[in-house]
């Protein structure tokens, strides 16, 4: 069994790397969170087959330190460095620029260890892959067998065939929708075939000028699911995903323009049984659009950028909300005992991670990646601001205030009460304090609830 040393101070990355190295390559991994501990371990065990390290940890060039140690001790252990900030000559290692591109890491590790694709395929993988039930909405027939998961016992599940290949989706699927089922399953080998077919149908709805608001809202939620799934698991955005994303952002604008009041949009989304994360994103977009249309410096280019950012800004939270649909606000996620420490690490870093992915998105609006990083009031995308400063973009301030206002809308809805707009506005002014924020809050006075 190959042995790998993983040097990372990020628990999420460490967990992802170890699970995937073990699952695909059969590798036994040791994790150290700093160079000192890693070098001590190498002193004790110089027989590692591979070292995977972040380039920098706490500002220290860890990759260079480890390389120099190996050279001094004459240890020929191949290195895979994540990130390009090291002063280490890239000829002396394999460099991966993106930390969360686990597929690239597995492929690069396999090449170093001499493990072929055939070897990887022969390793056990989950037989069935979950597909969000919303992705079936626009399909007439399915191009692969569809399964429903039932629990046989505490530790055992069974997947029952409910729709054979070529079968009609409607009305067969309605039963599962009415029961609140979130996912159906396909054979893992057929996953891409299904998603490609669902994507084609989705674009047709998004580009259909005669589609109703309800149909467009449904299609947008599917678009978020498909785009997120692709961007989190691929090295770059495919032309298909770029097309879907562009159509989604355009449709967001159409929906926001077509709905006269905030509560009308909320009630439509509740009727469609939209998930919280998507509903929150759409209502925040509505509120933010209202602010930008009324503020002195706002224009069409700001609206376009804003809608793009709000479509993608929470992409790393999609899978977490799918696992915990009963939780709502992000502070609930952080303080919940249900989430693992790795999942909480994703919540804390989700703005930074999304910004890094969107930076590489083809034809990304200028500065959109930075806006995503700043949407919780911090410049680096890590954590949530406690004191709100003026060193973030004015559009990021708009998003902050729009998100806060939207959360108050949801709280009022959950309590069965009418939103007290004046009280919320006063609360926002007190919380954000600085005049640059208060000027933005002022434009909520005339929003139609």
pLDDT tens for 97-114 read 766 667 788 889 988 998
Across 227-231, average pLDDT: 74
> What DSSP element (H or E) covers 230?
helix 213-233
pLDDT of residue 48: 93
Which range, 231-235, 324-328, 420-424, is most confident?
Answer: 420-424
- Tokens standing for 168? 């009609």
Task: Look at residue 122 and tell me whether its pLDDT is greater than 60.
Answer: no
Task: Look at residue 248 and tell me whether its pLDDT is greater than 70.
Answer: yes
Which range, 326-335, 375-384, 415-424, 437-446, is most confident?
Answer: 437-446
Interatomic CA distance for residues 265 and 259, integer angstroms: 6
Q: Which residues of 67-95 are buried (b: 16+ CB within 10 A; e: fewer)?
A: beebeeeeeebbbbbbbeebebeeeebbb
SS3 at position 73: helix
pLDDT of residue 203: 80
SS3 at position 95: strand
Interatomic CA distance for residues 186 and 147, integer angstroms: 6
Asked whether the beta carbons of 363 and 239 are under 8 A apart, the reply is no
pLDDT of residue 234: 62
Across 137-141, average pLDDT: 84
Residue with tokens 């597909």: 131
Which range is least confidently modeled, 94-103, 242-251, 307-316, 327-336? 94-103
pLDDT of residue 204: 82
Interatomic CA distance for residues 69 and 114, integer angstroms: 24
Which range, 84-88, 127-131, 332-336, is most confident?
Answer: 332-336
CA contacts within 13 A on the Cβ side of 427: 11
Task: Look at residue 123 and tell me whether its pLDDT is greater than 60.
Answer: no
Supply the CATH classification number for the domain 3-121: 3.40.50.2300
For 113, residues 6+ apart whose C-beta sits below 8 A from its C-beta are 2, 25, 27, 49, 50
User: By C-alpha distance, which of 7, 79, 82, 2 is closest to 39?
Assistant: 7
- The domain locations on the chain are 3-121, 126-197, 207-444
Which range is least confidently modeled, 23-27, 363-367, 368-372? 23-27
SS3 at position 55: coil
pLDDT of residue 214: 84
Distances (CA, A) of 352 to 308, 347, 349, 399: 16, 10, 5, 16
Task: Look at residue 84 and tell me whether its pLDDT is greater than 90.
Answer: no
Asked whether the beta carbons of 317 and 277 are under 8 A apart, the reply is yes
Alpha-helical runs (H) found in 62-173: 62-73, 102-113, 117-121
pLDDT band at 124 (very low <50, low <70, confident <90, very high): low
Across 127-148, average pLDDT: 85
**Mean pLDDT score across all residues of the chain:** 86
Superfamily for the 207-444 domain: Hypothetical protein af1432 (1.10.3210.10)
DSSP 290-315: HHHHHSTT--HHHHHHHHHHHHHTTG
Task: Look at residue 225 and tell me whether its pLDDT is greater than 80.
Answer: no
pLDDT band at 126 (very low <50, low <70, confident <90, very high): low
Task: Look at residue 125 and tell me whether its pLDDT is greater than 60.
Answer: no
């Amino acid at each position: 069994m190959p042995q790998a040393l993983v040097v990372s101070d990020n628990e999420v990355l460490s967990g992802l790397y170890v699970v995937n190295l073990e699952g695909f390559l059969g590798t036994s991994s040791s994790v150290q969170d700093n160079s000192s501990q890693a070098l001590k371990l190498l002193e004790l065990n110089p027989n590692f087959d591979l070292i995977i390290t972040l380039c920098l940890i706490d500002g220290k060039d860890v990759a260079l330190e480890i390389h120099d140690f190996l050279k001094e001790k004459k240890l020929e252990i191949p290195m895979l460095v994540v990130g390009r900030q090291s002063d280490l000559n890239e000829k002396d290692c394999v460099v991966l620029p993106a930390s969360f591109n686990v597929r690239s890491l597995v492929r690069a590790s396999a090449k170093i260890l001499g493990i072929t694709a055939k070897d990887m395929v022969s390793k056990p993988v989950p037989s069935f892959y979950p597909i969000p039930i919303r992705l079936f909405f626009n399909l007439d027939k399915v191009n692969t067998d569809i399964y429903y998961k039932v629990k046989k016992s505490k530790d055992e599940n069974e997947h029952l065939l409910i729709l054979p290949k070529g079968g009609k989706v409607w009305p067969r699927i309605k039963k599962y929708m009415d029961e609140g089922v979130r996912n159906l399953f396909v054979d893992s080998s057929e996953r891409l075939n299904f998603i490609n077919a669902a994507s084609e149908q989705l674009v047709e709805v998004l580009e259909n000028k005669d589609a109703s608001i309800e149909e467009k809202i449904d299609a947008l939620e599917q678009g978020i699911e498909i785009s997120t799934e692709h961007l989190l698991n691929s090295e770059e955005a495919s032309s298909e995903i770029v097309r879907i994303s562009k159509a989604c952002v355009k449709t967001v604008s159409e929906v926001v323009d077509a709905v006269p009041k905030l509560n009308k949009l909320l009630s439509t989304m509740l009727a469609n049984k939209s998930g919280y994360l998507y509903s929150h994103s759409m209502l925040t977009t509505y509120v933010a659009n209202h602010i930008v249309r009324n503020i002195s410096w706002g224009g069409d280019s700001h609206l376009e950028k804003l809608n793009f950012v709000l479509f993608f800004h929470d992409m790393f939270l999609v899978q977490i909300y799918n696992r915990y649909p009963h939780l709502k606000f992000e502070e609930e996620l952080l303080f919940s005992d249900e989430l693992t420490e790795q999942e909480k690490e994703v919540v804390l870093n989700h703005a930074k991670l999304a910004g890094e992915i969107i930076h590489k998105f083809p034809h990304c609006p200028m500065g959109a990646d930075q806006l995503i990083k700043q949407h919780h009031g911090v410049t680096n995308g890590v954590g949530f601001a406690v004191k709100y400063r003026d060193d973030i973009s004015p559009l990021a301030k708009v998003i902050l205030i729009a998100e806060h206002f939207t959360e108050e809308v949801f709280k009022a809805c959950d309590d069965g009460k009418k939103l007290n707009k004046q009280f919320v506005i006063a609360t926002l002014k007190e919380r954000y304090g600085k005049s640059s924020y208060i000027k933005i809050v002022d434009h909520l006075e005339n929003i139609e609830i």
